[in-house]
Amino acid sequence: MSTIALVLSVLFACAIAVVAYRLYRKRHLPAANKRLPFLQPIPRKLTAEERAAIEHYFKLNEHLQSSPLAPASTAESLALTPQSENIYAATHAITRYGLVTDAPHTWRYYLDSTEIHLPPLWEQFIAEENHVELIRTAGIPLVIALNGHSLVDYVYAPQTVNPPQTVPNSSMREQENEQVELLNIRKETPQEHAVNRPSGIREAAMVSAALLLLFMSLLAPVVAVPWLVAVAGLLILCGGWMLFRPPSQRTRLDIHCLRGTPKRWGLFGESDHNRLATVSLGIIDLTYPPHWLPFIDHDLGKKTEVDIYINRQVVRQGRFLSLHDEMVNFPVQRWGKNLVLFCSSMLVLCLLLAYVPLSLPLTLSTAWLKGAQNIQATEAKTLEAAPLRIGDTLKVQGTGMCFVDTTLTTAPKNPFLPFDCSSIYWNNAVPLPTPESDTVDKAVALLNTVDTQLHPELNSDPKINPVLANAIQKSGMILLDDFANIVLKTQDLCGDDAACARLKTALVNLANARDWPSVVKRARSGTLKGVNVLLRPVSAETLENLVNAATGSFFASETRLATNALNSPPPGGVLISSDEGKLLVDHPLPINSLYDYTGVAQWRELQRLSSMLLHTPFSAQGVITNISVDVNGTRHIALHSEPDVIAVWRYLGTTLLLLLVIISALVNVCLAARRLLKSRHRDQEIQRYYESCFNPDLPNVPLKTLP
């Protein structure tokens, strides 16, 4: 079973590692290495001639490699990489943008939203649908072939740039008269990056999976525990790092700061809700956040600074509209991750309460944090005076009395019932005496006299002539040669008129008397002396059963009374108990329990156990799990076996996991409720904020800035 668990744990750890590695690679893959959506999946390899032409093009046209809007536009942005060995073919429209800059080339080319580098002399060959071949570089993809024109031929053509000619059905967007000025290129701020940041549910799911693995480690075999804990720790570190790490310079996108006059093109009715798509800055169509719709008209037709992403998404416009300011004053409230963490924490908490004992781990962990001590004692006085605390290690050895269980259960907790030797009374008082009872002695005397007369073969001193006794035996009859003794011993045992009613009735019939008092009177006066009673075997067996039944009730009651008396130790002292039910004495275990015996055998077994367990050597060692004092002043000390290293770590792990899920559940339910409430009012707060900015004459409404 342990081998199977180990194999499963290793496979699970490998699977988690592979998934984490792939997520890491996907998250940190450079832009040049990501799959382009418009490319065919099967590339061809770069030939030596094409490689030479590309390198020659780089050397001759280094001044053409800069791009006014490109991020990190350096001469190395078009350097070859190992991924440049693959040539991808695509058939797609090419879009061209133009900006006013001091750079010698003002045109930018795109396939969908992906910027490409196109050799300048190929502008005239752009058509509505273009067959292009591209390679990946350190920066943007490089076009090495366009509509049948190859870079191999391009590098030997004259390096003069002719003005682009208008091509019928071209997908190029011509530069308008209204020019756009590029102010600078900057990285988005952390606040702007947080607008489109993932909700964190994936990272919260990773942490939730780690909590489940930690719970499984509490129940898993020892060989699987390190693997489960290691994988859980890795998931927590990865999930926590992905949740709280600040955005790196690589993950923050480029923002182009432009200056121009935004205009709206076309005529639209009041019911047209798609007016945002008609606003352009020069030849650039702008895309606005939906909640900016009521406020963008203030900047239309005016010279305005606009910050946009490469996909034309506006992040700032004019003086007031700004995603950065929105995130500073009204942060996005993402409560989904908190809800996931709360649900997973409650699930693990329920599993802990259902499948893991928590009392002992919490008790011992709390005691160990406070500091535990080792205590040894060989005398009861020393242990009574010792300053004991829960969690201390105790080792005692001495002579004491086993605890007496008076519940008279038929399912004994230990083989010494009614003595429970998993608990020991330890004091300096005189040991209790072995149980004695006059009633038991009388019952034994009655049994003996009846047994002697009903079984004459066991009697070595017959009171009648042996010849007569032999003749009676051959006849099948049984002779009671001392009937008066039976009557007297019955009266001694059953002095109460209501006791032994059936036995007394039988004896009255055998004596041929009127009632029981008259029979007793005749026996005491000697009238029955010498009277012999002959019984058939059936009658003799009936008489013996009646005697056994009558004496059996006395044996049971006297055993119960004696047991109750033994459970009254002197006040003071200590009661040392094993909370695991382990025996604290070293004695041979009895074959049968006390209450498996009947009659006089039960009483004799009680006397044997009493003589052995009322004053017996014992030894106990373990960790104190409970301390209390009863009304008699007896100090109760509960011990648990000292845990090994594995058990100690399981106890500590159980306590830490319990505290972790409780804190996680409380914190996340509060955060989820708080963020959900604020998320409902965020749009209203932003609208009020912009209204106060664009309409300063309106009464100022106090704004509550969200943390």
Mean residue pLDDT across the chain: 77
Domain positions in the chain are 35-174, 372-432+569-642, 438-562
> What's the pLDDT score for residue 244?
81
Three-state SS string across 443-506, please?
Answer: HHHHHHHHHHHHCHHHCCCCCCCHHHHHHHHHCCCEEECCHHHHHHHHHHHCCCCCCCHHHHHH
Q: pLDDT tens, 112-165?
A: 767 888 887 788 888 878 888 888 888 788 888 888 888 887 766 554 444 444
CA proximity to 640, closest of 415, 405, 361: 361
> What's the pLDDT score for residue 343?
92
> What's the pLDDT score for residue 670?
92
For every residue of 209-268, DSSP letters joined together read HHHHHHHHHHHS-GGGHHHHHHHHHHHHHHHHHHHHPPPPTTTSPEEEEEEE-EEE-S--
Residue bearing tokens 């720790």: 233
pLDDT < 70 regions, the chain = 1-41, 61-77, 97-106, 113, 155-178, 265-277, 367-372, 407-414, 456-476, 497, 530, 696-707
> What's the pLDDT score for residue 666?
94
> What's the pLDDT score for residue 662?
93
> What's the pLDDT score for residue 77?
61
Torsion of CA 329, 334, 335, 336, to 10 degrees: 180
> What's the pLDDT score for residue 276?
42
Kindly report the CA angle at 628 between 626 and 632, in degrees rounded to 5? Answer: 150
| Half-sphere CA count of 519, side-chain side, radius 13 A | 24
CA proximity to 658, closest of 240, 372, 371, 346: 346
The CA distance from 152 to 54, in Å, is 8
Of all helices (H) and strands (E), which one includes residue 574? strand 574-578
> What's the pLDDT score for residue 695?
77
The CA distance from 629 to 101, in Å, is 91
CA proximity to 286, closest of 306, 304, 259, 272: 306
Residue pair 621/394 in contact (Cβ under 8 Å)? The answer is yes
Residue ranges of the alpha helices (H) in 512-536? 516-525
Q: pLDDT tens, 367-421?
A: 666 666 788 888 888 888 788 888 788 889 989 898 887 765 544 456 788 888 8
For every residue of 35-63, DSSP letters joined together read PPTTS-S--EEPPHHHHHHHHHHHHHTGG
The token duo for 618 is 């014992």
The CA distance from 647 to 550, in Å, is 56
**pTM given for the model:** 0.57
**434: which strand partners?**
none
